[in-house]
Structure 1
Amino acid sequence: MDTDRRRRLTPDERRSQLLALGVAFLADRPLDDLTIEELSARAGVSRGLVFHYFGSKQGLHRAVVTTAAESMLAASAPRAELDPLDRLHDTLARIVTFVRDYRGTFFSLVRGVASGDPVVRRVVDESRDAHAERVIAAFLDLGAADTPMLRVALRSWVSFVEEVLIETTEDDTADADEVTRFLARSAQGVVAALAEPA
């Protein structure tokens, strides 16, 4: 017998396994389709065990969305050793790669804001804010003035990025490098527009 299959998982390992399966589920199906029954069947565990870790379908959705959002943030973490423009380009390139590799997960995250669950919406909004703060930091390092309008503009730009990624990933017509360059230029254009006289 395979000793790895017989080894009992620790509670943290089991929870991580269930979350990984939940995030993987998003690759092909929307968040609303993820149920306690579906996850327990995929994991080969009882429904009661899934309830033990997440309490409800809503609790499961919250945990899965949080894990997916954290994965995207980790995959695109800025590299501090790069100069600001290279850091921006590198971060955007890794976001584009993540979205193309995990398109279903990304779509579920972006559409998660339509969920009726305020916690899921908050997780998605916090993820957007974190992405915006990374871009804001790059432009502050380039000498942009830290104004409320800069923050509004770049937070709005994150929503624009999401739409570009959905459109270019769904039809696969645009090259990843082309998308990355376009997004970097669009961010620079937004910031440049703030400095232009009326």
Structure 2
Amino acid sequence: MQADRRTRLNPEQRRAQLVSIGVASLADHPLESLTMEYLSAEAGVSRGLLFHYFVSKKGLHREVVRTARDSMLRATKPSADLPPDDRLRDTLERIVRFVRDHRGTFYSLVRGVASGDTEVRDVVDQARALQAQRVIDVLLELGFTDSDLLRIAMRSWVAFVEEILVESALNTEMPSAEIVAILERSAKAIAASIAPPD
């Protein structure tokens, strides 16, 4: 839906509006199809204004991906008041819910690493690193030993999780509880497999 051209917004509000329209477009279109022309038509503003705010299509993509990433991280933030096992399960449940509620956004995020823009890839990688750290924190509370290998394994687990979510949460009607159980078991199994012997 096109924005009202007569609406007066200050620069910060206008920029936020434009980014919001860009994020909303991810529900139905891949990131690559988000062009200055499309956003100009959707927002009812000139292309010149878009270049003023974002400089280039790549700049627009970075801001849209950054905003989408932050939205996902807020929606999946662990509940600090829960014990470790429950916190991990709760976080995974909210991740699956986010993926199913924001299919296009999630798909664009996990495929953002394929972008030719290193800054877009960095934005996505930051999200992956934070999600891995959240799981590492739980595993350490559960008694697993911290190590470089554990950290490498959990970063790799995040990539595995993304594929599981694309293939199950996006492409099947598999019950969310079943997906959560697979993800929870796999994280603990990987951690256990690299734990030093007693």
Structure 1-normalised TM-score? 0.93
In the TM superposition, 1:12-161 aligns within 5 A as 12-161=12-161
**Would the aligned equivalents of 2:136 and 2:154 in 1 still touch at CA under 8 Å?**
yes
- For residues 172 and 44 of structure 2, the distance between their equivalents in structure 1, rounded to whole angstroms, comes to 35
Q: Secondary structure at the match of 1:29?
A: coil
Deviation string, structure 1 residues 90-114 (Cα, Å, up to 9, x no partner)? 1111110000011111111111101
- For residues 40 and 140 of structure 1, the distance between their equivalents in structure 2, rounded to whole angstroms, comes to 48
1:105 alignment partner AA: T
| Structure 1 segments unaligned to the other structure (5+ residues) | none
- For residues 45 and 29 of structure 2, the distance between their equivalents in structure 1, rounded to whole angstroms, comes to 21
Deviation string, structure 1 residues 119-160 (Cα, Å, up to 9, x no partner)? 011111111001001111111121221100110111100000
Q: Secondary structure at the match of 1:27?
A: coil
Indicate how the Cα distance of structure 1 residues 114 and 71 shifts in structure 2: closer, same or farther if over 3 A, else same: same
Structure 2-normalised TM-score? 0.93
- For residues 179 and 74 of structure 1, the distance between their equivalents in structure 2, rounded to whole angstroms, comes to 21
Deviation string, structure 1 residues 151-174 (Cα, Å, up to 9, x no partner)? 011110000000000001232231
- For residues 42 and 61 of structure 1, the distance between their equivalents in structure 2, rounded to whole angstroms, comes to 16
1:69 alignment partner AA: R
* Overall identity of the aligned pairs, in %: 59
**Would the aligned equivalents of 2:132 and 2:154 in 1 still touch at CA under 8 Å?**
yes
Note the C-alpha offset of 1:195.
2.2
Q: Following TM superposition, where does structure 1 have runs of at least 4 consecutive aligned residues deviating by more than 3 angstroms?
A: 4-7
2:50 alignment partner AA: V
| Structure 2 segments unaligned to the other structure (5+ residues) | none
Aligned length in residues: 194
Deviation string, structure 1 residues 65-90 (Cα, Å, up to 9, x no partner)? 11111111011011100011111111
RMSD: 1.5
2:60 alignment partner AA: L
Note the C-alpha offset of 1:6.
4.9
Note the C-alpha offset of 1:44.
1.2
Indicate how the Cα distance of structure 1 residues 34 and 5 shifts in structure 2: closer, same or farther if over 3 A, else same: closer
Q: Could you say which residue in structure 2 is the equivalent of 1:162?
A: 162
For the pair 1:9 / 2:29, whether they are aligned, the reply is no
1:77 alignment partner AA: K
Q: Could you say which residue in structure 1 is the equivalent of 2:177?
A: 177
